[in-house]
């Protein structure tokens, strides 16, 4: 079949939209959101797949596995739709190009190419005789992963921010008390996010005053199998007795990032390994100074805001100066429909899932 068809074909758009919808079932983070569907020779969808996060099946493998599970043993006459060109490099998962070839799928429709060094899968498949079309709902696919692509271009991990606050955006009362503003259900939700990130970052003041453990725990309060790297950003030393050190020397599950510059801290983490893998997804939990620095630097990719039905009036605000002096400079955010949707009720709290707006809307 060999020749490329680089065009946005109107007839393919509804099926690619189905793949984009599947992509949004996944979690943002170290890898992009990717969805895939497989259709038979009549154009009927026979399998759907999506990527669920680092270390899990890629969308193409997920869809192929679903097709086999549904009893389709011969996929040679099927068409694979995927929102990102199949990867050609093996990592925690095998290369999707190899899996597609093994499944004898020779018609592949992609929304967009991979802008990173991992790209080139579409061209490889063409060289092996497949017919590959690229460009169906390309702009929509690129907007879906706009912030992930930016993180790759900047040579840094993807950044998720967690903000737990009162209704009037306070993270502590006037006397400094802050535990707990939000509910146990909100904290459990945060721990589910902690379980899938590579590192958690707070500032030196939070480490000293709140003395958090910064570990990931299950709903029973027990440590989860996966524990992120615990990080403290700032020039003040982390207290030796801090809970987050777990009594261990630096380098054993925790580290101090001796800088006040967010991008420098992120690039240090990008060059740091943890549990045998690179740090590619960081959860920033504050406090005020650190959160403000990340927002001011434009280095926030995803936001979870947990708001309790509580008014404090005076007290410490969630954010300080982020460089905004007039309304037009404000950071516009949009509801993020990925990862379970934009709004979640957690007991009496409301969790809003947001992301900085991309060109013509990121999501």
Q: Which residues of the chain have pLDDT under 70?
A: 1-10, 359-363
Whole-number pLDDT of residue 362? 44
Whole-number pLDDT of residue 9? 58
* Backbone angles phi and psi of 131, in degrees to 5: -95, 115
Is 167:308 a contact under the CB 8 Å cutoff? yes
Whole-number pLDDT of residue 360? 57
Joined tokens for residue 88: 């050609």
Residue 98 annotated among the catalytic residues of the structure: no
Rounded Cα distance between 211 and 234, Å, is: 15
Rounded Cα distance between 344 and 353, Å, is: 8
Whole-number pLDDT of residue 90? 78
Provide the CB-side half-sphere exposure for 299 (13 A, CA).
23
DSSP 223: B
Annotated binding residue at 17? Answer: no
* Backbone angles phi and psi of 243, in degrees to 5: -60, -35
Rounded Cα distance between 33 and 133, Å, is: 20
Annotated binding residue at 110? Answer: no
Query: In the chain, which ranges are continuous DSSP H helix?
Result: 13-23, 59-69, 96-102, 121-127, 138-144, 146-153, 184-194, 204-209, 262-270, 288-296
Whole-number pLDDT of residue 327? 94
Task: Tell me the whole-structure pTM to 2 decimals.
Answer: 0.91
Annotated binding residue at 363? Answer: no
Q: Which residues are 307's β-sheet partners? A: 165, 350
Joined tokens for residue 115: 């802008």
**DSSP readout, 12-24?**
GHHHHHHHHHHHT
Annotated binding residue at 148? Answer: no
Provide the CB-side half-sphere exposure for 245 (13 A, CA).
15
Whole-number pLDDT of residue 3? 35
Domains and CATH numbers, the chain: 1-144 (3.40.140.10), 155-356 (3.40.430.10)
Bridging pattern class, strands 273-274 and 277-278: antiparallel
Any residues with CB less than 8 A from the CB of 319 and at least 6 apart, and which?
Answer: 169, 288, 291, 292, 295
Whole-number pLDDT of residue 182? 96
- Could you say which of 24, 60, 85, 140 is catalytic? 60
């Amino acid at each position: 079949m060999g020749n490329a068809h680089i065009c946005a074909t109107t007839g393919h758009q509804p099926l690619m939209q189905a793949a984009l919808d599947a992509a949004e079932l996944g979690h943002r983070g170290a890898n992009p959101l990717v969805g895939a569907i497989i259709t038979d020779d009549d154009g009927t969808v026979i399998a759907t797949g999506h990527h669920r996060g680092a270390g899990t099946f890629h969308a193409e493998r997920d869809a192929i596995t679903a097709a086999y599970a549904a009893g389709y043993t011969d996929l040679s006459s099927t068409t694979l739709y995927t929102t990102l060109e199949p990867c050609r490099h093996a990592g925690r998962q095998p290369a999707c190009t190899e899996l597609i070839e093994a499944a004898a799928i020779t018609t592949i429709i992609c929304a967009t190419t991979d802008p990173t060094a991992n790209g080139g899968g579409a061209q490889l498949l063409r060289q092996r005789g497949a017919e590959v079309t690229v460009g169906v709902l390309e702009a929509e696919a690129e907007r879906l992963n706009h912030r992930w692509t930016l993180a790759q271009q900047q040579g840094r991990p993807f950044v998720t921010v967690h903000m737990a606050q009162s209704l009037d955006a306070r993270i502590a009362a006037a006397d400094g008390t802050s535990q707990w503003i939000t509910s146990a259900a909100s904290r459990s939700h945060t721990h589910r996010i902690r379980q899938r990130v590579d590192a958690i970052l707070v500032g030196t003041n939070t480490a000293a005053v709140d003395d958090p453990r910064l570990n990931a725990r299950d709903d029973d309060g027990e440590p989860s199998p996966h524990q992120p790297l615990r990080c403290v950003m700032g020039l003040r030393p982390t207290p030796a007795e801090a809970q987050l050190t777990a009594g261990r020397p630096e380098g054993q599950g925790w580290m101090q990032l001796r800088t006040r510059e967010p991008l420098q801290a992120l690039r240090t983490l990008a060059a740091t390994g943890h549990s045998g893998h690179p740090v590619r997804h960081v959860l920033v939990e504050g406090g005020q100074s650190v959160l403000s620095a990340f927002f001011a630097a434009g280095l926030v990719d995803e936001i979870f805001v947990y708001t309790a039905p509580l008014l404090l009036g005076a007290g410490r605000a969630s954010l300080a100066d982020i460089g905004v002096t007039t309304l037009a400079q404000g950071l516009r955010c949009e509801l993020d429909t990925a990862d379970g949707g934009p709004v979640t009720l957690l007991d009496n709290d409301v969790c809003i899932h947001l992301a900085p707006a991309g060109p013509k809307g990121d999501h």
